[in-house]
């Protein structure tokens, strides 16, 4: 009887471990993937929220924010379509994902140049781009 209880307990523990997944989410522009354990039944939106919180907690760059509605989760193996935020993460059969910002809407201005709406930038870029601009101003073309 004691042996039966031990077997039953080990089987229930192994079954509980089957519905948990170690997933890896790569954020575009970041140094490396974020890895954490999730339940296979968790929805994509919850996983994205957890990934954004982990990303911010680790102090990674670039700073992304925490609004899940501004991001989409892709499965590189499944294709180019973004995953539905209400589907279970375990239903895709993969463990590697990619987190990207949603594309910004583009408006056409009267002069024919497209302008991206909603993106503002406080500085003009990195020191390398600033240095290149400085060199381009001093070099004259004849």
Q: Using one digit for the tens of pLDDT, what is the confidence trace for 83-130?
A: 999 999 999 889 999 999 887 776 666 566 665 554 444 444 566 666
Query: Quick check: helix, strand or coil at residue 20?
Result: strand
> CA-CA distances (angstroms) from residue 116 to 14, 51, 76, 128?
51, 27, 26, 24
User: Nearest-5° angle of CA 44, CA 46, CA 50?
Assistant: 115
pTM (2 d.p.): 0.63
Looking at 3.10.20.90, 3.90.230.10, 3.40.710.10, 3.40.50.300, the CATH number of the domain 2-103 comes to 3.10.20.90
Can you give the residue ranges of every domain in the chain? Answer: 2-103
The widest CA-to-CA distance across the chain, in whole angstroms, is: 95
User: Among residues of the chain, what percentage have pLDDT more than 70?
Assistant: 61
Record the tokens describing residue 100, joined without a space.
């990207």
């Amino acid at each position: 009887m004691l042996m039966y209880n031990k077997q039953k307990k080990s089987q229930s523990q192994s079954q509980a471990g089957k519905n948990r997944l170690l997933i890896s989410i790569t954020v575009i522009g970041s140094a490396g993937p974020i890895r954490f354990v999730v339940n296979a039944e968790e929805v994509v939106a919850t996983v994205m929220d957890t990934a954004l919180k982990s990303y911010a907690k680790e102090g990674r760059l670039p700073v992304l924010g925490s609004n899940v509605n501004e991001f989409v989760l892709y499965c590189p193996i499944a294709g180019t379509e973004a995953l539905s935020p209400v589907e279970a993460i375990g239903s895709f059969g993969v463990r590697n994902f990619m987190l990207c910002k949603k594309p910004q809407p583009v408006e056409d201005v009267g002069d024919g140049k497209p302008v991206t709406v909603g993106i503002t930038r406080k500085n003009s870029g990195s020191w390398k781009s600033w240095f290149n601009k400085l060199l381009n101003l001093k070099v004259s073309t004849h």
